[in-house]
């Protein structure tokens, strides 16, 4: 049976791409390798000084743009459920006016993983993307800075010196240009945009989409041939929640709720465990067993699987890696 490919047109700085992580994790959890996820970087903002989003008043003035972007992120987080920083946001500056560096960094991570596959864990590039999005959105790290992007690579086990060489290489620039051309060929101008491909047939999903919407599109395009695993993993049990968290090491409430299809309580934002039926009791049980710990992150909380799968920095002397330990 043919598998399905979902190409995700994205940008590491896009808040709706950050908000779509729970959907993509749920797809990976329920479908495994029956769905191949491929990320293409779209380069959302080449220069904030010349960028112009009239609806959100973003572009031109850097200080005003930073304030407006943060306001938008806070509003969006209540909808998509992934936390964002509460203060300290200053992503763009005269020295860091673009999101292209972050796009190049993810591409460099993919090249690194392919080139040194025997030295890093499988999926290291995707873990790097997660750290990059989280550092930008939740920790207010100025990720447009090349040194920061290089130091961050240590968190997923890359050797920063090797990563830097790849990051500045012509190979990465060429792959970025090819990705941008691919975006234009499908008129993918808003992120995230999904391109579903199955047996030569295609379907486009533009903008933020819920897991149920993506799942229904998978079923429709594949004529029901691509199905989630039928092994009980969809049941909301303590064992399955631990199984889900162990795949990633940590999760926010919305990621667990999305993976297990929990009903959202009326009148609640998507940010907190209390927003979802049954989730507070489940997390309390896990916290009491000592298998899970929690900590505040941005305007939300994160839950860690203790003794679980946690990518470790390869070099502990780098400032970013030290800050994340």
Report whether pLDDT(319) > 50.
no
Could you write out the DSSP letters of every residue in 219-262?
A: HHHTTT-S----SSTTS--HHHHHHHHHTTSEE-HHHHHHHTTP
> 3-state class of 20 per DSSP?
coil
Query: Reading across the β-sheet that carries 4-10, which strands appear in turn?
Result: 35-41, 4-10, 193-198, 201-206
pLDDT band at 1 (very low <50, low <70, confident <90, very high): low
CATH architecture of 238-305: Orthogonal Bundle (1.10)
Q: Is the pLDDT of residue 105 over 90?
A: yes
The band of 106, judged by pLDDT with boundaries at 50, 70 and 90, is very high
Q: What would the pLDDT profile of 225-258 be if each residue is shown by its tens digit?
A: 999 999 999 999 999 999 999 988 999 999 999 9
Count the neighbouring beta carbons within 10 Å of the beta carbon of residue 16: 20
* The pLDDT of residue 170 is above 90: yes
Average pLDDT over the chain, rounded to an integer = 93
- Tokens read off for 75: 């509003």
The pLDDT tens digits for 44-87 are: 999 999 999 999 999 999 999 999 999 999 999 999 999 999 99
With bands split at pLDDT 50, 70 and 90, how would you rate the model's confidence at 325?
A: very low
Residues 6 or more apart whose CB falls under 8 angstroms from that of 267 comprise none
| pLDDT value for 308 | 54
pLDDT per residue over 15-55, tens digit each? Answer: 999 999 999 999 999 999 999 999 999 999 999 999 999 99
Q: Is residue 322's pLDDT more than 90?
A: no
Given this model, what pLDDT does residue 64 score? 96
pLDDT top residue among 315 and 194: 194
Place 164 in a pLDDT band, splitting at 50, 70 and 90.
very high
| Rounded CA separation 146/150 (Å) | 6
Decide if pLDDT at 222 tops 60: yes
User: 46 and 100 in contact (C-beta within 8 Å)?
Assistant: yes
Domain boundaries, the chain: 238-305
Per-residue pLDDT of 260-298, as tens digits, reads: 999 999 888 899 999 999 999 999 999 999 999 999 999
Q: Is the pLDDT of residue 190 over 70?
A: yes
User: Dihedral angle at the C-alpha atoms of 214, 218, 223, 229, nearest 10 degrees?
Assistant: -110
Task: Show Cβ contacts of residue 92 under 8 Å, excluding neighbours closer than 6 positions.
Answer: 48, 62, 65, 66, 69, 144
* pLDDT bracket for residue 307 (50, 70, 90): confident
**pLDDT (tens digit per residue) in 141-152:** 999 999 999 999
Q: What is the pLDDT of residue 315?
A: 32
| pLDDT tens track for 109-132 | 999 999 999 999 999 999 999 999
Q: Write out the two tokens for 39.
A: 């990320």
Q: CA 59, CA 38: separation in Å to the nearest integer?
A: 29
Q: Is the pLDDT of residue 314 over 50?
A: no
Whether the pLDDT of residue 323 is over 80: the answer is no
């Amino acid at each position: 049976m043919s598998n399905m490919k979902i190409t995700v047109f994205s940008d590491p700085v896009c808040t709706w791409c950050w908000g779509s992580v729970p959907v993509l994790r749920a797809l990976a959890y329920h479908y495994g390798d029956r769905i191949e996820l491929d990320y293409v970087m779209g380069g959302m903002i080449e220069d904030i000084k010349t960028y112009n989003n009239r609806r959100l008043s973003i572009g031109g003035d850097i200080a005003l743009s930073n304030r407006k972007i943060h306001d938008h992120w806070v509003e969006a987080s209540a909808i998509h459920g992934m936390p964002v920083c509460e203060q300290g946001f200053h992503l763009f500056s005269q020295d860091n006016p673009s999101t292209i560096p972050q796009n190049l960094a993810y591409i460099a991570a993919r090249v690194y993983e392919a080139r040194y596959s025997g030295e890093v864990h499988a999926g290291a590039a995707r873990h790097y993307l997660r750290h990059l999005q989280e550092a930008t959105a939740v920790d207010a790290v100025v990720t447009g800075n090349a040194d920061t992007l290089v130091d961050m690579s240590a968190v997923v086990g890359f050797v920063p010196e090797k990563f830097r060489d790849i990051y500045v290489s012509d190979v990465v620039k060429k792959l970025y240009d090819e990705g941008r051309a691919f975006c234009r060929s499908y008129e993918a101008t808003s992120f995230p945009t999904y391109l579903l491909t199955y047996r030569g047939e295609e379907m486009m999903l533009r903008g933020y989409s819920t897991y149920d919407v993506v799942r229904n599109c998978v079923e429709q395009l594949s004529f029901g041939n691509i199905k989630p695993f039928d092994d009980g993993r969809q049941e909301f049990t303590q064992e399955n929640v631990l199984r889900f968290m162990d795949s990633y090491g940590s999760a926010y409430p919305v990621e667990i709720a999305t993976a297990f299809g929990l009903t959202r309580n009326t009148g609640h934002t998507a940010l907190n465990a209390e927003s979802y039926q049954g989730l507070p009791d489940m997390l309390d049980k896990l916290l009491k067993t000592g298998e899970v710990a929690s900590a505040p992150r941005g305007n939300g909380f994160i839950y860690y699987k203790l003794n679980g799968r946690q990518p470790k920095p390869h070099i502990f002397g780098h400032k970013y890696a030290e800050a994340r330990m």
